[in-house]
Amino acid sequence: MLRIKQPSLKYKVYFYFLFFLSLYMLCIFGVRKSGYTVPHAMRQDLLTVLSNQTFNEADYALIYEQTGLAAPIVNELKKHSAFEQKLLEFQENFFKKVKLADRPLNLVTKEDYLLNEKGLAYAHFEIAPYKNGDIFLTKSTHTLGWRHGHCGLVVDEKRGKTLEAFSPGTISSENDANRWRYYPTFKMLRVINITSEQKQEVVNYALTHLNGIPYGILASKEQGQTPQKTHCSLLIWQSFYYTLGIDLDSNKGYFVSPENIAKSSLLETLQFIGFSAKKEW
């Protein structure tokens, strides 16, 4: 079992003081850059590559940088009759110019979204086929200048549901996976080399032990099999650690963030949009 020393009251006081001081300084100096990254590659014609019966490594690499879709997703989509058209639609959305805005989630936290020609929020891309146990992640949430991001766990691929913990004062809950399409930035991640049965074990644990529990920004990793509090990235960490012993926190610290999840070497990126193709975060 993971052993992490519990923080003392003094540590918590210092943590909160430094945390809010940092957020205040970020707010004062206006240090908040857009989390959206335009594609680093120039748009290319994919029809020649997509018409091939099989793809080599270079083909997959080109498709990845032109659509944001990795080889496992490409292979799954290749089974469909409208494969070429579908990939071209992903490419169109991948290179589409965007206009960003943000809206409040609470008194200090906001989330980015996209505006259409009429100034309304819209879903700007299609989520590739996903499976139970997949992880959704965005950089499009920020608190007083700190772009911490958000993440969720796919718990029902058929109904299109994710399990998420949002912000202080809320409880974790199932949400519509389609709402992720409104974020300017999106990644779909999957743990490498685990079976469908293991993924379902993770989902069953999450729905049993992590659904409907209070949000806690300082919730400890060492709560055991029945956590009393969680937050978005901790929920994902708990789900995999307490079922399969898989530690998705890339820096192994007291606090796990969406960035720590994104940088885990145990995950592969299946789809991205608004992120850099060359960076995990």
Tens of pLDDT along 245-271? Answer: 999 999 999 899 999 999 999 999 999
Domain identity same for 88 and 128: no
Q: Which of 107, 137, 138 is nearest to 27 (CA)?
A: 107
* Last-in-domain residue among 58, 74, 95: 95
83 class by beta-carbon count within 10 Å (0-12 exposed, 13-18 middle, 19+ buried) = middle
Domain CATH for 182: 3.90.1720.10
Domain identity same for 58 and 115: no
Give me the domain span that covers residue 246: 101-273
Domain identity same for 108 and 218: yes
On whether residue 23 sits in a domain, the answer given is no
Return the half-sphere exposure (C-beta side, CA atoms, 13 A cut-off) of residue 112.
26
Tell me what pLDDT residue 144 has. Answer: 87
Helix (H) or strand (E) holding 114: strand 109-114
Domain identity same for 156 and 259: yes
Domain identity same for 91 and 132: no
On whether residue 87 sits in a domain, the answer given is yes
Higher pLDDT, 182 or 222: 182
Domain identity same for 187 and 259: yes
The most distant pair of C-alpha atoms in the chain lies apart, rounded to whole Å, by: 63
pLDDT tens column, 194-215: 999 999 999 999 999 999 999 9
On whether residue 38 sits in a domain, the answer given is no
Q: Name residue 69's amino acid.
A: L
pLDDT higher than 60, residue 243: yes
* Last-in-domain residue among 95, 127, 160: 95
Q: How many CB atoms lie within 10 A of CB 106?
A: 12
Domain identity same for 126 and 213: yes
Domain identity same for 202 and 181: yes
Helix (H) or strand (E) holding 156: strand 150-156
Domain identity same for 111 and 159: yes
Tell me what pLDDT residue 30 has. Answer: 39
Q: How many domains would you assign to the chain?
A: 2
* Last-in-domain residue among 56, 73, 95: 95
Contact 250, 265 (CB under 8 A): yes
Domain identity same for 80 and 218: no
- Counting residues of the chain whose pLDDT is more than 70, the rounded percentage is 88
Domain identity same for 237 and 269: yes
Tell me what pLDDT residue 27 has. Answer: 45
Domain identity same for 76 and 121: no
Q: Name residue 227's amino acid.
A: P
